[in-house]
Structure 1
């Protein structure tokens, strides 16, 4: 009996062991499955978070793309605006330059109109002589015109023209000075051809009275002195007025502080030739009526001297003839 019991016990022992192993495996499987489930749950949660992040980043990326596109459009518009502003500023600068030139020209015209002479004389102040000489030498601008002047408020209109580096055969050796007859509103009432003597005077600014003075009488057959058919007749005058070295030398008596003074006088009174140097060299600061009176007094004095000298010469000639006989 005991032997049977023992065998029975022995026979049943492996079966218990097998059941325990199965239980252990089942528990391990459950644990692993639980771990896997938890892991999957974690991964699922992470995937959801990633999906949310992807969706958020996609939305942000779209917004950034829109912002970049808007910025690009704004930048393009700003560039266009800058170009338009630059073009506007360039146009404004050009207009300002033109306006400044117009203002300068208007200022010159106003100054000229305020200093217009109506007595047949012109005192012409020429500034920046050295620059004008350089322009004439390089042929950038070979000549300049003076402001106009008149013989009377309803008389002849005239001006002077100077070639600083000479004209024609006088180029590079002399300064040329010419007289120009201009068209005026009263030409139909005036007498032509123009036949009055014209005297030029380049002032000595040292006070030593070594003026350069020259005179010419118009040729009545020349077209320069017929009634003007356009704004200006052809200039005519004295090509070899003064040698260039006299005005180009350092400390020239005729150019001081880069300024030159030229006087033009039209002789409507038919003064004696000996009177012209005196007339053109009178102090220009004196009123016109004073200058005219001084000229008349000088002319009368000369006439008186001539009258006094003539009888004496006749007396000497008479005595000489009688002694010869």
Structure 2
């Protein structure tokens, strides 16, 4: 099952100027699935510092973790949404598989993983502005909208699948 979580980052300019990072509220990949959070660094980091928006997905401790297979494996899609119409969204795919370092995909016992996975150069600051030729604008009213989709390839433990509620 695939999830689509739409997240709004407000006060982009302030976060960019003050070099602040933003974490989304936690969300689940599906009912009974993995818990994640999106981290956005408005002024970029690493090779994107000062010129790009950076985005990373982080695993979180979730209430269904005992019923899930670890390490997590799947593909996370981050889309920066065009706020003028439903096309020309900026899309980036993040495969998380056996080739990825363990701290990104292992079970988190408490809170959020300190290691995330994603592009340090998701989009340049110049690309955020209105472009009349494509009727595209990512930054509007000092806000960005992200859609996170997750296609999980790791599985639940079949004998625990019914345990989607904690009593």
1:122 aligns with 2:2: no
Q: 1:83 corresponds to which residue?
A: none
Q: Shift in Å at residue 241 of structure 1?
A: 0.7
1:255 aligns with 2:139: yes
1:238 aligns with 2:106: no
Query: 3-state DSSP class of the match of 1:236?
Result: coil
> Is residue 36–residue 60 contact of structure 2 (8 Å, CA) maintained in 1?
yes
> Is residue 120–residue 149 contact of structure 1 (8 Å, CA) maintained in 2?
no
Partner deviation per Cα, 1:42-64 (whole Å, 9 max, x = no partner): xxxxxxxxxxxxxxxxxxxxxxx
Q: 1:148 corresponds to which residue?
A: 26
Query: 3-state DSSP class of the match of 1:237?
Result: coil
Partner deviation per Cα, 1:214-265 (whole Å, 9 max, x = no partner): 1010143421101113311111111111112112x46771111222111000
- Distance in 1 between the 2:138 and 2:146 partners? 10
* Runs of 4+ with >6 A deviation: none
Q: 1:189 aligns with which of 67, 80, 92?
A: 67
- Distance in 2 between the 1:266 and 1:241 partners? 17
- The structure with the greater share of residues assigned to strand is 2
Query: 3-state DSSP class of the match of 2:14?
Result: helix
Q: 1:275 corresponds to which residue?
A: none
Using CA pairs under 8 Å that are at least 6 residues apart, name the structure with larger relative contact order, 1 or 2. Answer: 2
Q: Shift in Å at residue 151 of structure 1?
A: 2.1
Query: 3-state DSSP class of the match of 1:191?
Result: coil
The TM-score normalised by the length of structure 2 is 0.78
Partner deviation per Cα, 1:129-151 (whole Å, 9 max, x = no partner): 22222222xxxx2x110111112
Structure 2 CA distance for partners of 1:227 and 1:167, relative to 1, 3 Å: same
Alignment of 1:98-109 (within 5 A): none
Q: 1:268 corresponds to which residue?
A: 152
